[in-house]
Amino acid sequence: MVFGGTLFIGTVALWASKAVAVDNGLAVTPQMGWDNWNAFGCDVSETLLTQTAQLIVDYGLKDLGYHYVILDDCWSTGRNASNNNSLIADSTKFPRGMAAVADDIHALGLGFGMYSDAGKYTCGGYAGSLGYETVDANTFASWGVDYLKYDNCYNMGQAGNQMISSGRYEVMGNALNATGRPILYSLCNWGEDYPWNWGSTIANSWRISGDIFDSWDMADARCPCDGDDAWNCGLPGFHCSVTNIMNKASFIVSKAQPGAWNDLDMLEVGNGAMTDAEYVAHFSMWAAVKSPLIMGNDIRTIPPADLAILSNPAVIAVSQDPSGSSAARRWIYATNDTDINGRATIQMWSGNLKSTTGGDQSDMVVLLINGNKNTIVLNATLADIFVDNGPLGTAPQVKLSWEVRDLWANRMSDDEAKAIIDASSAVGNATTGYNATTIGAGRYNATKTSYADGLAANSSLLLGKVSTTVQPSGTITATVDPHGAAMFRLRAMPTGSLKRDEL
Ligand code: GAL
């Protein structure tokens, strides 16, 4: 069976026979981890990284699949002319050097990510890698780096069409590959020159927008391109709201594939400026469209409710689904129920997931998004959910009954999240120590059982809670919080009539 560009025989995907994404074997499902930029900007240090790494372990986030600890901009003091012009790590921020940081992170079973820029300078004004790709790739490899985020500032005008931009980014991709060390390659050119058209052959992911802002829908002139031509944004900007980025993603969902993903930017969950419902919707969307899930908050001060959001295995299982296919927006309607600076819409997204019922029929993820400032009841018809399989209700799936599973119903309680936080001694909490068999008991551990295997085994932690069934030609209904989302997994129910037809 050929599915989404991948040849499946049984459950084994044969990449080599039909490689359409960069073949470094990484990010077969969207990468997960943490990056300091959204919460800390340039305020980086060895302590920040090693404390955060320890907490990712202590809070069970590593077990859930968050793997890369990524150091963003502002870490160097320039180049060393007497050592092949290699980059120098700032010895005040990183007194033991970068390799020691990498060693500590590796000792915890995590990966180490770093940042550079395909330009003369980084966005923070530090030395960039343009013209120094080979020496820098070799330095990163020698330090034990597992992931490179590669930015676009000060690119000396080497942009403006796809060939120039892709060529500039390919130089670093080749240099990374030539090191022989598997290094996940994350492009950060903000969607300039349509990286979704060329990124998959040289990298594992590409940013599609200017920088995210901790806001649901606040309009900001510095992040333009909010309409039907958002895919064609000549000025990516920054201060982009969650809904602005969702809109940009809606046009290019088909470009996501195993090993190569649309990057909607790092998560804002936990940074404090959005409501709980908004963070739920943000996390749900990022999972459904297969964006990398890179936490962007201060883990050392994470509120329990935000730990609960980031720790929802049923939602992460959608992100990490083996079929690697993004959900798509099926409808969007503008409404008037908004604040003066917001833009309200209601939206429905759906997408194929690998079957967990053993049959040929894919599971389906369904998202109902309420952009209104008031609670609303939203409906999704099977005809709209399955429109890709036939317009106007003609899809065969519309004739089936479906089990509807709420993917947020089993969200960890704030009390449990607080107990997990309190058990870690890493940042001066109680000193009982995290104990995965007691405090972590019953939580999903993707480092032991991959999401693919857990789904195949019908792990109840991954499938959500049965909330209802929907009959042929039926409708799913959900009451959705302001700026919130309802998220469901649909599973096909056995059909008596089909069996009769077969006789
Ligand atoms: C931006 C990038 C951000 C962050 C920042 C560092 O261009 O999009 O994610 O890396 O540079 O200066």
Of 267, 283, 311, which residue is a domain's last?
311
Residue carrying structure tokens 């809670």: 465
Q: Which two tokens stand for residue 25?
A: 């074997």
pLDDT of residue 423: 84
Does some domain include residue 47? yes
Q: Which domain holds residue 91?
A: 2-208+252-311
Looking at the CA of residue 124, tell me the nearest atom of ligand 1. 12
Does some domain include residue 321? no
Residue carrying structure tokens 């969607």: 191
pLDDT of residue 5: 37
> What phi, psi does 472 have (nearest 5°)?
-50, 140
Which of 35, 123, 266 for mutating ligand 1's site (highest number of atoms within 8 Å of CB)?
123
Residue carrying structure tokens 């990449």: 15
Does some domain include residue 171? yes
Examine the domain organization and report whether 49 and 197 are in the same domain: yes
pLDDT (tens digit, 0 to 9) for every residue of the chain, 503 residues total?
Answer: 333 334 333 333 444 446 678 889 999 999 999 999 999 999 999 999 999 999 999 999 999 999 999 999 999 999 999 999 999 999 999 999 999 999 999 999 999 999 999 999 999 999 999 999 999 999 999 999 999 999 999 999 999 999 999 999 999 999 999 999 999 999 999 999 999 999 999 999 999 999 999 999 999 999 999 989 999 999 999 999 999 999 999 999 999 999 999 999 999 999 999 999 999 999 999 999 999 999 999 999 999 999 999 999 999 999 999 999 999 999 999 999 987 677 799 999 999 999 999 988 999 999 999 999 999 999 999 999 999 999 999 999 999 999 999 999 999 999 999 999 988 766 554 444 555 555 667 899 999 999 999 999 999 999 999 999 999 999 999 999 999 999 999 999 987 544 444 33
Of 260, 282, 311, which residue is a domain's last?
311
Q: 3-class DSSP state for residue 262?
A: strand
> Which residue, 40, 51, 119, is CA-closest to 75?
40
pLDDT of residue 233: 94
Q: How far apart are the C-alpha atoms of 274 and 214, rounded to whole Å?
A: 6
Does some domain include residue 245? no
Q: How far apart are the C-alpha atoms of 120 and 114, rounded to whole Å?
A: 17
Examine the domain organization and report whether 297 and 401 are in the same domain: no
Examine the domain organization and report whether 294 and 361 are in the same domain: no
499 CA to centre of own chain: 40
pLDDT of residue 7: 38
Angle at which helix 98-107 crosses helix 133-143, to 10 degrees, equals: 50
Interval between CA 151 and ligand 1 midpoint (Å): 7
Examine the domain organization and report whether 147 and 296 are in the same domain: yes
Q: Where are the alpha helices (DSSP H) in 108-161?
A: 133-143
Q: How far apart are the C-alpha atoms of 168 and 273, rounded to whole Å?
A: 36
pLDDT of residue 296: 98
Examine the domain organization and report whether 295 and 365 are in the same domain: no
Interval between CA 96 and ligand 1 midpoint (Å): 25
> What phi, psi does 488 have (nearest 5°)?
-130, 150
CA distances from 274 to 270, 283, 365 (A): 8, 12, 24
Which of 36, 70, 121, 151 for mutating ligand 1's site (highest number of atoms within 8 Å of CB)?
151
Examine the domain organization and report whether 262 and 346 are in the same domain: no
Within 10 A of 408 (CB to CB), how many other CB atoms are there?
19
Number of domains in the chain: 2
The single-letter code of the amino acid at 429 is N
Does some domain include residue 33? yes
Examine the domain organization and report whether 277 and 156 are in the same domain: yes
Q: How far apart are the C-alpha atoms of 187 and 162, rounded to whole Å?
A: 14
105 CA to centre of own chain: 21
Does some domain include residue 382? yes
Q: How far apart are the C-alpha atoms of 331 and 13, rounded to whole Å?
A: 32
> Which residue, 288, 446, 271, 420, is CA-closest to 367?
288
pTM for the complete prediction? 0.94
Ligand 1: lining residues by beta carbon, under 6 Å: 37, 72-73, 115, 122-124, 151, 153, 188, 211
Does some domain include residue 323? no
Residue carrying structure tokens 């819409």: 345
Examine the domain organization and report whether 25 and 77 are in the same domain: yes
* Catalytic machinery residues: 151, 211
Of 311, 346, 379, which residue is a domain's last?
311
Q: How far apart are the C-alpha atoms of 186 and 206, rounded to whole Å?
A: 6
Does some domain include residue 232? no
Examine the domain organization and report whether 123 and 191 are in the same domain: yes
Cβ neighbourhood burial of 147 (10 Å; 0-12, 13-18, 19+):
buried
pLDDT of residue 4: 36
Examine the domain organization and report whether 54 and 87 are in the same domain: yes
- The CATH number of residue 380's host domain is 2.60.40.1180
Q: Which two tokens stand for residue 52?
A: 């955060």
Interval between CA 211 and ligand 1 midpoint (Å): 7
Examine the domain organization and report whether 159 and 271 are in the same domain: yes
- The CATH number of residue 100's host domain is 3.20.20.70
pLDDT of residue 30: 98
> Which residue, 176, 174, 108, 100, is CA-closest to 143?
100
CA angle 288, 293, 294 (to 5 degrees): 160
Cβ neighbourhood burial of 107 (10 Å; 0-12, 13-18, 19+):
exposed
Looking at the CA of residue 152, tell me the nearest atom of ligand 1. 7
Examine the domain organization and report whether 195 and 100 are in the same domain: yes
CB 182 within 8 A of CB 208: no
Within 10 A of 499 (CB to CB), how many other CB atoms are there?
9
pLDDT of residue 13: 42
